[in-house]
Amino acid sequence: MMIYVNGTFCSREEAKISVFDHGLLYGDGVFEGIRIYNGRIFKLDEHLQRLKESAQSIALKLPWRGKELQKLTVETVRRSGLREGYIRLVVTRGVGNLGLNPFRCPEPGLIIIVDTIALYPREMYEHGMAVITVATQRTGAETLSPRVKSLNYLNNIMAKIEAINGGVEEAIMLNRFGFVAECTGDNIFIVKNGSVLTPPAHMGALEGITRNTVLALAAAAGRDTREQMLTRHELFCADECFLTGTAAEVVPVTKIDGRVIGDGAPGPITRELMHAYSELTRTSGTPVPA
């Protein structure tokens, strides 16, 4: 593990931030989760672009110019010595006072954590996972754009608690109109009659990097791919279902709210996309010097 905090590389025990940082006080900031595969940082440029857009959307000015954030991320990974791992890149509003006013935080904070991660047990990738729909709704686009990857994840956490209390690892969140948005930390896809379908961002879905990568892989394989409004009915009647996310990668879903999906096993298109995604991650990305 290696951590960069506001200009200093340090260990887990040494890493510290101010109790007056608005990222801590109010969840005021943005973040990215990024994967390291085979000594390469996967989709680093895309993640940094999304980070910048998230920051722009919440009026958080980033002082790092050009390739500076990229260089700091690569250097933190290099110092960690990990060739397989996970990066959590966090930008906070910075140190201010106990008031809400973000303009009293003169300088944003930067944290880069490099560690390992395993989101779900291996058997779920082999046999599929069960998910449930929960009462906690996805934050609506009229409140905060779902394209902003904000530090304030409380509604996702409440949905996660419902999932765990319901005996599963993940939960489907609906928007206020009753349409499927996403899961607590992953995008959701279904396969119906050979078409690969996922909810559009305006329904409350994060425009995930892995989501977009899988859509591109499916299109390259000649599959019909569409962003489409989905209800629970479409999920229950799907031929296949799977989730995508940087930490999750591509994981099949075989049961939703007690309904068996398809034949109860990961479907052929899901497996095809899992394999294509795995192959892509091994051969592309920003190299990290030894």
Pairwise CA distance, residues 143 & 149, whole Å:
14
226: Cα within 13 Å, side-chain hemisphere = 11
Instruction: Give me Rg for the CA atoms of the chain.
Output: 19
Single out the catalytic residue among 149, 160, 192, 255: 149
Pairwise CA distance, residues 26 & 4, whole Å:
22
288: Cα within 13 Å, side-chain hemisphere = 26
| Residues with Cβ within 8 Å of residue 258, at least 6 apart in sequence | none
Among 212, 138, 216, CA closest to 178: 138
Pairwise CA distance, residues 43 & 9, whole Å:
23
Is 149 one of the catalytic residues? yes
Tokens 């791992």 -> residue? 85
- Which SS3 state, helix, strand or coil, does residue 289 take? coil
Length of the chain (residues): 290
Among 101, 48, 24, 99, CA closest to 209: 48
Pairwise CA distance, residues 53 & 13, whole Å:
32
> How many CB atoms lie under 10 A from the CB of residue 171?
25
Residues taking part in catalysis = 149
